[in-house]
Amino acid sequence: MVVGFYKAVCAELKAHGFGYLENAKSSHEKWKCHETGVVVLVPRNLMSRFTANGILKDAGIDKKY
């Protein structure tokens, strides 16, 4: 089984106040921070470290993989 960054990114988003909002197109999910109103898209097949870092940057989280 190939291990990607999906679970790690979702755990980091949850730790910073984000919650699952709804499914988006294809294999993506919308996550929203209820405090700031920021919405980010997370692909369920997240394999790229660079994409994972970009999602966290868009969410305003300083963590890097």
Q: pLDDT tens for residues 8-43?
A: 999 999 999 999 999 988 899 999 999 999 999 999
The full set of domain ranges for the chain reads: 6-59
Q: Which homologous superfamily is 6-59 in?
A: Hypothetical protein. (3.30.920.30)
pTM score, two decimals?
0.91
Are the CB atoms for 53 and 61 separated by under 8 Å?
A: no
Helices 6-15 and 49-59 pack at an angle, to 10 degrees, of 10
pLDDT of residue 2: 59
Phi/psi at 28 (nearest 5 deg)?
-115, 155
The C-alpha angle with vertex 49 and arms to 45 and 53, in degrees rounded to 5, equals 105
